[in-house]
Amino acid sequence: MSYFKTINKIAYEGPLSKNPYAFKFYNPDEKIGNRTMEEFLRFGVAYWHTFTEDLSDPFGLGTAIRPWDNYTGMDLAKARVEAAFEFFEKLGVPYFCFHDVDIAPEGSTLRESNQNLDTIVALIKDYMKDSKTKLLWNTVNNFTHPRFVHGAASSNNADVFAYSAAKVKKGLEIGKELGAENYVFWGGREGYESLLNTDMKLELDNLGRFFHMAVDYAKEIGFDGQFLIEPKPKEPTTHQYDFDVASGYAFLQHYDLHEQFKFNIEANHATLAGHTFEHELRYARVNGMLGSVDANQGHPLLGWDTDEFPSDLYTTTLAMYEIIKNGGLGRGGLNFDAKVRRGSFTPEDLFHAHIAGMDSFAVGLKVAQRLIDDKVFDNFIEDRYSSFKEGIGLDIVENKADFRQLEAHALGLTEIKHTSGRLELIKATINQYLLTIYAE
């Protein structure tokens, strides 16, 4: 049975195409450097937003109209798998991602939930045999059910810690079974609402213990996916422990987990933390911790996670700049943790949204590669820090200077000369690159 009958395989038709069901910029086979766009961008579809989500919000019921709406229970779960693989095939996307509860309904006991998962995982495995689409990462949802009211691995309740561990254990087994490239931890309830009733030290220690147990179990069963922490500062909790990359990195180092984990960086989470997307990518990159990306964008006027499909080319360019400088994403990818707007409720909108996101990142990739080839930032930055290439600056970076020597240098200064930061020129140059990349 076909769920998207009216839609054919999405092809690349070039920047001037007027076909809404074609890529204008994402050309999977086009070489950028020594990799194809498909190999570089490693796009993934988020199962929850595309197949499970009904577009409800805190003030309104779901609006989504989906071809699998007339099914319920396990039949619904199976229909979604069938629809998902048709969607992947038509979009030509190399990866997908899911939480346990996205693919199979929870049963009335943990045992029953696991049985439901086994049935659906077997079905997914079957579809994967004939599909080029692989599993970028899976995770478990340890935040929606009321049992997680006080947290999961950071709960005050040891039974919930155990339940959460059992779910992650199953998640790792599923990751192994389906050959997941990564396993993600997003701590939706791993934080607190108020310090007045919270033992922060115990919660952090328990979270550290939990991650160590996960690492140990993965090793034990031979699951070799890369472990990723996805930072988010707030929502649903008031304060989440994996606040941003910097605090997450400090946590990982403190609990001696930094060799086992990298970060899955989400654009909208970065802005919620008061950072730009590229700040989070840069912070992870320069510390060797950039693992994967949840590609979306927030709304500048709203203070919550709107999870929009990426369309801002300026941001995709600066994001791809970081990713190229990182040498790509390795086992990671660009997962569209993004949902269509509540008003975009038709199945066709799922295609338009992904095409928009894929095209936006393809442009970002091309422009960023050109900026790098032409050393637009590199030349500016090298020049700007040239004082560290000789004299006292060289002594500083070679760890040869001390406070006495620096004082002597400062006392001998008659004036301090500065050079312009040239920010307006740099921004204008980015605009020029953005507007001329397809002009040739």
Please report, as ranges, the residues that interact with Co ion according to CB under 5 A.
Answer: 266, 294, 337
Backbone φ and ψ of 391, nearest 5°: 55, -135
Give the separation between CA 183 and CA 185, rounded to whole angstroms. Answer: 7
Smallest gap from residue 265 Cβ to ligand XUL (A): 10
Q: What angle do CA 402, 406, 411 make, to 5 degrees?
A: 150
Q: Is 230 in the site for ligand XUL (CB under 6 A)?
A: yes
* Cβ contact 291:330 at 8 Å: yes
Residue 86 binding: pick among Co ion, ligand XUL, none (C-beta 5-8 Å cut-off by kind):
none
Q: Which of 102, 244, 337, 359 is catalytic?
A: 102
Dihedral (C-alpha) 114, 118, 120, 124: value to the nearest 10 degrees? 140
Q: Does 102 bind ligand XUL (CB under 6 A)?
A: no
Q: Are 95 and 335 in contact (CB under 8 A)?
A: yes
Q: Is 337 in the site for ligand XUL (CB under 6 A)?
A: yes
Residue 83, H or E segment: helix 73-91
Q: Is 102 designated active site?
A: yes
For residue 426, the surrounding DSSP H or E stretch is helix 423-436
Least distance to ligand XUL, CB of residue 237, Å: 11
Partner whose binding site includes residue 139, from Co ion, ligand XUL, none (CB under 5 to 8 Å by kind)? ligand XUL
Nearer to ligand XUL, 28 or 248 (CB): 248
Active site residue 242: no
Residues from 262 through 291 that contact ligand XUL (CB under 6 A) = 266
- Which residues inside 3-62 make contact with ligand XUL, applying CB under 6 A? none
Considering the complex, state which of residue 91 and residue 140 has its C-beta at the smaller distance from ligand XUL.
140
Residues 6+ apart with CB under 8 A from 97: 44, 45, 46, 47, 135, 136, 137, 138, 139, 184, 335, 337
The single residue among 148, 186, 263, 277 that binds ligand XUL, judged by CB under 6 A, is 186
Q: How many C-beta atoms lie closer than 10 Å to residue 59's C-beta? A: 5
Which residue among the candidates 29, 49, 75, 99 is catalytic per the annotation?
Answer: 99
Q: Give the SS3 label for residue 28.
A: coil
Pairwise CA distance, residues 317 & 404, whole Å: 44
| Site membership for ligand XUL, residue 139 (CB under 6 A) | yes
Q: Of these partners, Co ion, ligand XUL, none, which one is at the site of residue 232 (CB under 5 to 8 Å by kind)?
A: ligand XUL
Residue from 86, 278, 294, 359 binding ligand XUL (CB under 6 A): 294
The residues carrying an active-site annotation are 99, 102
Q: Which residues bind ligand XUL (CB under 6 A)?
A: 99, 139, 184, 186, 230, 232, 266, 294, 305, 337
